[in-house]
Structure 1
């Protein structure tokens, strides 16, 4: 909801390069500065809400179609039958997470959606 309120959405990882950029961004926020339950896992824009085992981005693409599907070892594990949202560990590998668990999150928005002020025409 925070991402949407700012005109964006949860980040969709489209490549290894983008994953590394998000990894660097996440590294700027050390564990001791995060008050959420999960400190080493961030919500990102994919889920498994319908057919189990079919992970899709919030825009309906498969992770493969989106360009990045590098899961952490043993993931997704749906550890307790309910981890249907997507997450990214600090090393940029993917995980499944409970949707309602508090964790950092990463938003993205299109550059053209940013407010531009025309300084010439106050």
Structure 2
């Protein structure tokens, strides 16, 4: 799982999305890829898989209205195809 530290790294991941459009698990996963961060322990406090707060990792370009804990059970961080975090 990737931990994004800069806009440049996010753009690199988006390029990987673009060349791997045929790899997906369902219609929703076509729009995003999972990243190495979560808020499993405390809702809204995202931590990387290395135990670092997301806000210290260097990239926190959230989509409008995010994080929103969709359906009360959204704990994993993902990157949308537009470069924004969900």
Instruction: Please say if 1:70 is aligned against 2:67.
Output: no
Q: Report how far residue 35 of structure 1 moved.
A: 3.7
Structure 2: which 5+ runs fail to align? none
What is the aligned partner in structure 1 of residue 38 from structure 2?
A: 47
Q: Do the aligned partners of residues 18 and 35 (structure 1) sit closer, same or farther apart at CA in structure 2, a change above 3 Å counting?
A: closer
- When the two chains are superposed, the root-mean-square deviation of aligned CA atoms in Å is 1.0
- Once the two structures are TM-superposed, the CA of residue 72 in structure 1 deviates from its matched residue by 1.0
TM-score by length of structure 2 reads 0.90
Equivalenced residue count is 84
Q: Secondary structure at the match of 1:80?
A: helix
Q: Following the alignment from structure 2 to structure 1, what is the Cα–Cα distance between the partners of residues 43 and 31? A: 25
Question: Of the candidates 14, 20, 23, which is equivalent to residue 34 of structure 1?
Answer: 23
Match of 2:16 in 1: 25
- C-alpha separation in 1, matches of 2:70 and 2:31: 17
Residues 54-87 of structure 1: CA deviation (Å, up to 9, x unaligned): 0011011111211111111111111101100111
Q: TM-score, normalised by structure 1?
A: 0.65
Gaps of 5+ in 1: 1-9, 96-122
Q: Which of 75, 78, 84 lines up with 1:84 in the alignment?
A: 75
Q: Which runs of 4+ in 1 moved over 4 A?
A: none
* Residue number in structure 2 paired with 1:100: none
